[in-house]
Amino acid sequence: MEHQSSTPHVLIFPLPIQGHITPMLNLAELLCLANLKVTFLNTTQNHKLLTRNTNIEARFARYPGFVFSIVPDGLADEHPRAGVSKFKDWSSELVEKLALSGEPLLREMLVGSTGIDKVTCLIIDGWISFANEVANEVEVPVIAFRCSSPCYMWTYFCIPKLIQAGDIPFKDEAMDELVKSSPGMDSFLRYRDLPSFCRNQDTSSCQDLLHLFNGEIQRNKQAHAFILNTFEDLEDPTLSLIRSECSKVYSLGPLHAHLKYKLSQKETTLCNNSSSNLWEVDQSCISWLDQKPNKSVVYVSFGSLTILTKDQLREFWAGLVHSKKYFLWVIRPNLIIGSELDNPTPDDLLEGTKKRGCLVKWAPQQEVLAHRAIGGFLTHSGWNSTLESIVAGVPMLCWPYFADQQVNSRFVSEVWRIGLDMKDVCDRTIVEKMINDLMDVKKDELQRSMDKISQLAKTSISEGGSSYSNFNQLIEDIKAMSKKGEH
């Protein structure tokens, strides 16, 4: 009798931070909608927060093939887990501790000794490269999801070349010069736009960086394929460069819009509230926005990890108030270094905020960006925020903080021309001027380019579009992997 092929079972393992959980949960739901079995590995800490702050359990309870598995992240209970100044140090610690607590469980799950169905494909966060080795040992195919931007991924792949060519280390005086040996980006990428950890290096630390990157890139390339949260029309040249070094690349984004589209196509009335917030959302800002004229409000959010000094907070605050625009500002509980401001806040700031401002701890960002009252987004250029702004058609003023954000903001301003870059400057007069450029002086030209790109984003995730078709191909490939594993 012919062997009845079973449904593929995908195990998803994200890096447990907001900007990675969100797109990986969106991918998980898309796989469920394609009738695959999915297990999502959450950390104990994040599972508790998601359960408290979102409808996550109801959202996934409607898919019988879906389960959450839980693993401790290995960090002490009192660890802040966000909002620390040296994310690189914290992220290495997180990955290291997660490897210690997660690797034994992952191995058991992959060999099938935990009682879950046989895993036929592992989708890991690109950062969780220890999972590659475990999966390769037990011969489960791995697909790596790189949650940050492909333009950053390509820069990251180029770092060994840049070190060998002498482009890194670079001097402070060279920040505004073009990076000579960055293939495909040498006409617009400045030293200032390289990932933040390329700064402040010397010859000996560069050797450590070279060693680290050669190892990381090699481990990454052990994956059978890559999933990227982008769309072909946005990053076609960069995707070609990545494809020249990686065998298989699926661009499926923007994933949040892709999921929304697929849910809207279902005949049943599936609830399409797909939030995955680790913080409690303050909905009151929506009724505040309802009272404001069209495109009159600047939305200000620096994502989930950025932190500000008290001086930086004051410069932004004064710039926002002096711009005389309405502003909705997310001040996350751990956004500011230290807790309260030391000096009394000047009266004009308090008055300006009372008249034109709305402050919240955490906003329903996608709903905010889609609101007719929003005219611009002052952002840290996190990749999710960038894609959400593109889908909503809102031009950006970028103040990148770290990692991929320096590269993203350069692409936003110089390549796609859908925003302005305020990189490395935090001064009230510049903030005020650039907000006025965003909302008035340069508004029309930015909006024209944004409307075109926003339309291309929507086309890519609709039936027949590139991300839509790439997703179908991914499903076919996961099914083929699962059949291969049966023999």
Active site residues: 20, 125
Kindly tell me which residue out of 42, 384, 447, 460 binds ligand UDX, with binding defined by CB under 6 A.
384
- The DSSP 8-state label assigned to residue 451 in this structure reads H
Q: Within 258-317, which residues bind ligand UDX (CB under 6 A)?
A: 277, 301, 303-305
- The DSSP 8-state label assigned to residue 2 in this structure reads P
- Closest contact distance (angstroms) between CB of 369 and ligand UDX is 8
Kindly tell me which residue out of 134, 227, 363, 457 binds ligand UDX, with binding defined by CB under 6 A.
363
Is 195 one of the binding residues for ligand UDX (CB under 6 A)?
no
Is 404 one of the binding residues for ligand UDX (CB under 6 A)?
yes
Q: Given the complex with ligand UDX, which of 150 and 160 has the nearer CB atom?
A: 150
Kindly tell me which residue out of 73, 193, 388, 432 binds ligand UDX, with binding defined by CB under 6 A.
388
Is 148 one of the binding residues for ligand UDX (CB under 6 A)?
yes
Kindly tell me which residue out of 129, 274, 385, 460 binds ligand UDX, with binding defined by CB under 6 A.
385
Pairing of strands 37-43, 142-146: unpaired
∠ at Cα 218 (28, 216), nearest 5°?
Answer: 75
Is 19 one of the binding residues for ligand UDX (CB under 6 A)?
yes
Q: Show the tokens assigned to 190.
A: 């400045």
Q: Given the complex with ligand UDX, which of 225 and 360 has the nearer CB atom?
A: 360
Q: Show the tokens assigned to 416.
A: 């796609």
Is 46 one of the binding residues for ligand UDX (CB under 6 A)?
no
- In angstroms, how far is CA 170 from the centroid of its own chain? 28
Kindly tell me which residue out of 365, 409, 413, 482 binds ligand UDX, with binding defined by CB under 6 A.
365
Q: Given the complex with ligand UDX, which of 217 and 370 has the nearer CB atom?
A: 370
Instruction: Give me the residue whose beta carbon is nearest to ligand UDX.
Output: 382
Sheet holding 121-125, edge to edge: 66-71, 37-43, 9-13, 121-125, 142-146, 225-228, 249-251
Q: Given the complex with ligand UDX, which of 134 and 305 has the nearer CB atom?
A: 305
Count of residues that bind ligand UDX according to CB under 6 A: 24
- Closest contact distance (angstroms) between CB of 362 and ligand UDX is 4
Kindly tell me which residue out of 383, 411, 468, 471 binds ligand UDX, with binding defined by CB under 6 A.
383
Is 330 one of the binding residues for ligand UDX (CB under 6 A)?
yes
Is 466 one of the binding residues for ligand UDX (CB under 6 A)?
no
Kindly tell me which residue out of 8, 12, 14, 22 binds ligand UDX, with binding defined by CB under 6 A.
22
- Closest contact distance (angstroms) between CB of 110 and ligand UDX is 26
Residues 6+ positions from 94 with CB-CB distance below 8 Å: 15, 16, 17, 73, 75, 81
Is 143 one of the binding residues for ligand UDX (CB under 6 A)?
no
Q: Show the tokens assigned to 123.
A: 């989708």
- Find the helix or strand (DSSP H, E) in which 376 lies: strand 374-379
- Do residues 76 and 48 lie in contact, with contact meaning Cβ atoms separated by under 8 Å? no
- Closest contact distance (angstroms) between CB of 255 and ligand UDX is 10
Is 42 one of the binding residues for ligand UDX (CB under 6 A)?
no
Count CB neighbours of 51 within 10 A.
Answer: 13
Q: Token match 């990545």: residue?
A: 242
129: phi then psi, degrees, rounded to nearest 5: -70, -15
Is 39 one of the binding residues for ligand UDX (CB under 6 A)?
no
368: phi then psi, degrees, rounded to nearest 5: -65, -50
For the stretch 310-346, what's the b/e string if a residue is b when 16 or more beta carbons lie within 10 angstroms of its beta carbon?
eebbbbbbbbbbbbebbbbbbbbebbbeeeeeeeeee
Q: What is the DSSP code string of 450-475?
A: HHHHHHHHHHHHSTTSHHHHHHHHHH
- Do residues 218 and 137 lie in contact, with contact meaning Cβ atoms separated by under 8 Å? no
- Closest contact distance (angstroms) between CB of 386 and ligand UDX is 7
- Closest contact distance (angstroms) between CB of 405 and ligand UDX is 5
Is 382 one of the binding residues for ligand UDX (CB under 6 A)?
yes
- Closest contact distance (angstroms) between CB of 416 and ligand UDX is 16
Rounded to whole angstroms, how far apart are CA atoms 28 and 58? Answer: 14
327: phi then psi, degrees, rounded to nearest 5: -145, 140
Query: Could you tell me which of 418, 371, 429, 426 has the C-alpha nearest to residue 396?
Result: 418
* Helix (H), strand (E) counts: the chain: 18, 13
Task: Name the residues that contact ligand UDX, by CB under 6 A.
Answer: 18-20, 22, 147-148, 277, 301, 303-305, 330, 362-363, 365-366, 382-385, 388, 403-405
